[in-house]
Amino acid sequence: MRIAQEARRSSLIMEENYIVIDTETTGLNAAEDELLQVSIIDNDGVVLFDSYIRPTQHTEWAEAERIHHISPEMVAEAPTIAEVMPEINDIFKRYDKIVGYNLKFDKAFLENNGAEFLNAEYADVMKMFAPIYGEWNDQRGSYKWQKLTTAADYYGYDWSEHKEAHNSLGDCYATLHVYKEINEVIKNQKSEYMLLGRLQMDCNYYLGAGNRNSKHLWAGTPEEQIEKMKELYSKLVVKPEWLSEKNISDYEKAMLPQEKVENEKEQSLKSFARADETKQRISDMAENCRNACELCDKQSQNDIFLSEEQAVQAVKLGIPVGYVTKQEGHHGSSAGLHTFYILSEQNYSTLSNDESMDKGPVFHYTLNDDQKKQLLNIVDTAIKDPEYAKCLELPQKTTPMRKKSMGRK
């Protein structure tokens, strides 16, 4: 069991060969609608399968056609899904990992038509991207799923590279691009993933064969073990599928005395009480910053450069940041709070127009020194105290991005 868990965690970090799949259909209901196109590429972007599919029950699909522009005439001479499914299944058998965007949708249509996924591992890029984009859905209590076009634009994907950008093959290329970008983030946090996995296995052993003996815990005590798990989990940009906040909460309840848990909840409530005041302070500074931005002329000032972790937390809190790019060699605007996906783990103390300078997020230069220090302190406190961060973080408004025709993604 522990070997299997470790294998799953390693696959999140060490990339293996995989395939990316996407489909186009006559509608959204996998039980009633039919496939119109199936595309499969490998992790190098090589096309393994791409074909229009001729439906056998539908003769028109006007609403779906407005989305993907696949007309009845385009599929009139195409093979049926039954005719090509053996070839598709042969591809599935050769790969142990399948990647997709809203993979559940494509998988349902393919399975209803005889696809055999066997014991393949799955990676739904839509679910991986949601916490990175960071738009919170209060009703569902989770991060909102975003369209593929939003994810692709977030990572600077050039849709013009593939003329098939409005069909399933084009979506495969876009999904591959986003998946690789996310994996780069994951690889940069490899040590955090590995340690978090180790801590989880320790907890399982502690509660089982370890007979609740603290010598089996990496951190030494149940309290420190849980605290370290919370710390690591909050730092991860891409949350692991094998561990959730609820899982950590369950470990906490099982491993700590109940009175200890209640005391920690009381402390969290005190943090919430501080949150409203801090939110207002952030809001006031952000508004002053945006107003001043219109007057400033990119004058050089002493900026506070941020680590990737600080920049991500700042954006979640609504704190305005700017950024430096190789192309511009100067500050970017403070503009929206969703634009700063270009992050660097490095810190810089000075600005330079040197073409070799890496990209790095900074606090916007229209804030005075005291304000910048206050915001940095808020960011660092939020990183150390996830519960405090939760009460500060606000749902972020999305900025208009390239819109793909309405569809199932």
pLDDT digits (tens, 9 = 90+) for 52-79: 999 999 999 999 999 899 999 999 999 9
403, two tokens: 């819109």
d(CA 159, CA 162) in angstroms, rounded, equals 6
How many whole angstroms from its chain centre is CA 260? Answer: 33
pLDDT of residue 9: 45
Span 75-88, average pLDDT: 96
d(CA 38, CA 41): 10
Q: What is the pLDDT of residue 197?
A: 92
- 309 or 37, which is more confident? 37
Tell me what pLDDT residue 213 has.
92
Q: What is the pLDDT of residues 181-194, one digit of tens each?
A: 998 888 888 889 89
User: 253 or 297: whose pLDDT is higher?
Assistant: 253
- Per the CB < 8 A criterion, the answer to whether 24 and 168 are in contact is yes
Instruction: Place 238 in a pLDDT band, splitting at 50, 70 and 90.
Output: confident
The residue that leads in pLDDT, 289 or 387, is 387
* pLDDT above 70: percentage of residues in the chain: 67
Looking at CATH, the fold of the domain delimited by 8-185 is given as Nucleotidyltransferase; domain 5 (3.30.420)
Instruction: Tell me how far CA of residue 74 lies from CA of 52, 56, 65, 69, in angstroms.
Output: 8, 14, 11, 9
Name residue 188's beta-bridge partners. Answer: none
Determine contact, residues 314/306, Cβ cutoff 8 Å: yes
Q: What is the mean pLDDT of residues 361-366?
A: 53
pLDDT of residue 267: 61
Using the predicted structure, report yes or no on whether residue 99 has a pLDDT greater than 70: yes
DSSP 8-state symbol, 119: T
Predicted pLDDT at 398: 42
Q: Record the tokens describing residue 207, joined without a space.
A: 């509660």
Contact 175, 20 (CB under 8 A): yes
Q: Which residues pair with 322 in a beta bridge?
A: 362
Say whether pLDDT at 356 is over 60: no
DSSP string, 28-62: S-TTT--EEEEEEEETT--EEEEEE---SS-S--H
Q: Which two tokens stand for residue 177?
A: 């691009």
Is the predicted pLDDT of residue 400 greater than 70, yes or no? no
Question: Has residue 84 got a pLDDT over 60?
Answer: yes
Average pLDDT score over residue span 177-204:
91
Q: Tell which wins on pLDDT, 154 or 301.
A: 154
By the 8 A CB rule, do 343 and 311 touch?
yes
Nearest CA to 288 out of 368, 373, 396 is that of 368
Sole residue written with tokens 């370890």: 210
State mean pLDDT over 342-371.
Answer: 45
Mean pLDDT of the 375-392 span = 79
Q: Please return the burial class of 169, using the count of CB atoms within 10 Å of its CB with bins 0-12, 13-18 and 19+.
A: buried
Q: List, for residues 239-273, the tens digit of each pLDDT value.
A: 887 888 889 999 998 998 765 555 665 665 555 55
d(CA 62, CA 33): 13
The one-letter amino acid code at 327 reads Q
When pLDDT is averaged across residues 7-28 and rounded to a whole number, the result is 73
Give the 3-state secondary structure of residue 322: strand
pTM for this predicted structure: 0.55
Question: Where in the chain is CATH 3.30.420.10?
Answer: 8-185
